[in-house]
Chain A
């Protein structure tokens, strides 16, 4: 089943002479797989994620999520199908306790309190935080905040998860824990990251964005071991490969 289909998607910021073309004619589709979205700073990764969630309006081309065409009429349904994990967890977690934050989405989608409780428990179990539902958000560590952010999306039972730089500011243990959690989740995922080692550990497929276009799309192993390709687009081999060589 196609979870996501993008056709001829282009996007620019600004108008007239100040126009900055960020994405050019993007074509891409994915099923139940984990895709790494990589590229140097400013190539349009975050813009693409915002277009997929409807936070930015589509200017040219089309996006279909779970067979639903991205438009204002379908936005609520689409946002139930796609979950976005922000880079900064403090922006994602706005309620005071973990339980209240994870329950926010299901309640807004009209779930009963009993069903909400079940979804929250399940989501927290999936990220191994079942004992921390009553914890105040500000008392969580950076790693726990990231896991709680993922739980907020899981509780909505979204078909696809988008993660923006999930490994930023995590210590090695929390990073390893996050890799384990993401690999255990049977969900379609798009992970936008500069951390190529992280992408290597969590994704089966990699899409390389460069200058607003898809420069490469293929198996993780093939793309991330291609030193020439990576260097031509402002990236470097993952550190673990340097060590191996």
Chain B
């Protein structure tokens, strides 16, 4: 399978997971979004040496991943690029911050080491929480929740269309790549001489597609906003989920 096909297949799998009849999937999207935002905000609010406090926040991820039956293996597989980037962010800290905080046997642990790990943990937590939200909530539901918390309609519309058309675009790229590779069998990748043409072609095709999609939307009465509806009304469990997790996360943060 080509890398593009793999990317398309991964997106399909994420959508299928969001449509599952699991416990976490059944929670109203707004509480899930609010708890995720709160979790990320509280996570980043920890000081750069407060590793022990930060680790306690992991309880949220462990419980929700277990209850939601979300595969950690899949998380690591799909997020490997992002996680690699997250881990790279703090890599210079040990060189700049050499103050020794404590020793573990012969090993002197510096502030830079702790702040590097803290930064990595924060990144991993934020990515994991976002991934959790994405695999348990459909894109329409997520956009509905975003609108409810006041995210501008233009942003939500772009998000929805990008998500829908990223697959169409990927397929377009795949078709172009297939067409190229079949007529350039000796090439290992795309020769730099055709990069410009390929990007130009992709741009033209994307513009063409964008115009047709816009026409299609206008013909069905589009007036600048997607009228999103949530498939389910909020239940007592949804309120409980919001209040329960908010309280628990705040306690962990303060304690």
Contact = CB atoms under 8 A, between A and B. Distances in A.
Contacts of B161: 94
B193 to A, nearest CB: 30
* Interface size range on B against A: 20 to 34
Contact of A91 (B209, B220, B227): B209
Interface stretch (A24-32, A66-74, A99-107, A179-187): A99-107
Nearest to B12: A138
A79 B227 contact: no
B219 A108 contact: no
A76 B221 contact: yes
A217 B229 CA distance: 46
Contacts of B50: none
A82 to B, nearest CB: 8
Contacts of B41: none
Interface centre among A84, A134, A136 (most CB of B within 10 A): A136
B12 A139 contact: yes
Interface stretch (B55-63, B127-135, B163-171, B173-181): B163-171
A95 B161 CA distance: 8
Contacts of A84: 216, 219
A213 interface: no
Contact of B219 (A55, A97, A137): A55
Given A83-B219, A105-B221, A95 B227 contact: no
B140 A113 contact: no
B216 A96 contact: no
B227 A96 contact: no
B64 interface: no
B15 interface: yes
Contact of A109 (B16, B140, B212, B221): B221
Interface centre among B164, B212, B220 (most CB of A within 10 A): B220
Given A91-B209, A107-B227, A108-B227, A96 B221 contact: no
Nearest to B139: A96
Interface residues of A, number: 31
Nearest to A116: B229
Contacts of B223: 108
A100 B221 CA distance: 15
Given A86-B216, A91-B212, A96 B165 contact: no
Given A108-B222, A109-B221, A138 B167 contact: yes
Interface string A108-151: 11000100000000000000000000101111000000000000
A103 B140 CA distance: 13
A80 B220 CA distance: 7
Contacts of B218: 55, 79
Interface of B: 12, 15-16, 19, 138-140, 160-161, 163-165, 167-168, 209, 212-213, 215-223, 226-227, 229
Q: Which 5 A-B pairs have the closest CB atoms?
A: A108-B221, A105-B220, A91-B212, A107-B227, A109-B221
Given A96-B139, A103-B229, A138-B167, 17 more contacts: A55-B218, A55-B219, A79-B219, A79-B221, A91-B213, A94-B161, A94-B165, A96-B163, A100-B140, A104-B217, A104-B222, A104-B226, A107-B227, A109-B221, A113-B229, A136-B16, A136-B19
29 contacts: A55-B215, A55-B218, A55-B219, A79-B218, A79-B219, A84-B216, A84-B219, A86-B212, A91-B216, A94-B216, A95-B160, A96-B138, A96-B139, A96-B160, A97-B138, A97-B140, A100-B140, A103-B229, A104-B217, A104-B220, A104-B222, A105-B220, A108-B220, A108-B221, A108-B222, A109-B221, A113-B229, A136-B12, A137-B164
Interface of A: 53, 55, 76, 79-80, 83-84, 86, 88, 90-92, 94-97, 100, 103-105, 107-109, 113, 134, 136-139, 152, 156
